[in-house]
């Protein structure tokens, strides 16, 4: 997992139609906490939490910049294309942009492994965004009969928003592996 305290990687990505401006650049984001969510349209683990993501959007959007990131290869998984992402966002009334990480650079920079995967950055004393949380939404998974509460992520969000230290004991996300472009898997998988 990406070490806590890591600076936000710089990025400039296209946005799925109808989910925000045409492009988003990391240097133009507001100086408030930033939640990057590695998502996709087809993953059953993402589908399992879509309603909770809508709730998080409603509760935190005024205080946290939420961004969905789609990093799956469209070569192998065209069902995660911009149109499908836009339809997913519209169906769940998400108000956050859905960014297209077509070359998978941001996912690699974040050391993201699956969908869903969450990365919470917050400004430090220099104003630079630093990683405060990376991991799971909560302990719920498809089929384990635990309710989707967002407990782990909510605890981290609330700590950041109240100026408290985020607990460093963080559980990695579990979900569908990111679908890397053929032959371009990150070196941590080799």
Q: What is the pLDDT of residue 176?
A: 96
What is the rounded distance in angstroms from the CA atom of residue 79 to the CA atom of residue 81? Answer: 6
**142-151 contacts at long range (C-beta below 8 A, 24 or more positions apart):** 142/44, 142/45, 142/47, 142/48, 148/48, 148/49, 148/51, 148/52, 149/52, 150/49, 150/52, 150/55, 150/56
How far lies 134's CA from each of 22, 117, 146, 188, in Å?
27, 7, 21, 17
pLDDT one-digit tens code per residue, 70-90? 999 999 999 999 999 999 999
Does any domain span residue 3? no
Does any domain span residue 1? no
Does any domain span residue 40? yes
Does any domain span residue 7? no
Q: What is the pLDDT of residue 125?
A: 84
Does any domain span residue 5? no
Does any domain span residue 2? no
What is the rounded distance in angstroms from the CA atom of residue 109 to the CA atom of residue 104? Answer: 9
Number of domains in the chain: 1
**Which residues fall within 8 angstroms of residue 85, CB to CB, at 6 or more apart?**
16, 19, 40, 41, 68, 70, 98, 100
Which tokens hold the place of 53? 């993501």
Does any domain span residue 74? yes
Q: What is the pLDDT of residue 188?
A: 62
Does any domain span residue 128? yes
Q: What is the pLDDT of residue 67?
A: 98
Q: Which domain holds residue 22?
A: 12-189
Using 50 as the pLDDT threshold, list the residues of the chain that sit under it: 190
Q: What is the CATH number of the domain that holds 19?
A: 3.40.30.10
Q: What is the pLDDT of residue 189?
A: 54
């Amino acid at each position: 997992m990406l070490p806590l305290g890591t600076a936000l990687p710089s990025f400039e990505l296209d946005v799925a139609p109808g989910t925000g401006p045409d492009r988003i650049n990391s240097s133009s984001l507001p100086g408030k906490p930033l939640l990057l969510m590695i998502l996709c349209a087809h993953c059953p683990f993402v589908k399992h939490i879509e309603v909770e993501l809508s709730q998080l959007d409603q509760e935190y959007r005024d205080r946290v910049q939420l961004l969905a990131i789609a990093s799956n290869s469209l070569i192998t998984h065209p069902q995660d294309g911009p149109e499908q992402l836009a339809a997913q966002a519209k169906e769940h009334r998400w108000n956050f942009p859905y960014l297209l990480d077509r070359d998978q650079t941001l996912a690699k920079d974040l050391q993201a492994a699956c969908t869903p995967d969450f990365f919470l950055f917050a400004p430090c004393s220099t104003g630079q965004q630093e990683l405060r949380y990376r991991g799971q939404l909560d302990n719920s998974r498809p089929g384990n009969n635990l309710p989707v509460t967002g407990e782990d992520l909510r605890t981290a969000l609330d700590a950041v928003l109240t100026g408290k230290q985020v607990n460093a004991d963080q559980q990695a996300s579990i979900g569908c592996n990111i679908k890397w472009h053929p032959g371009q898997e990150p070196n941590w998988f080799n």
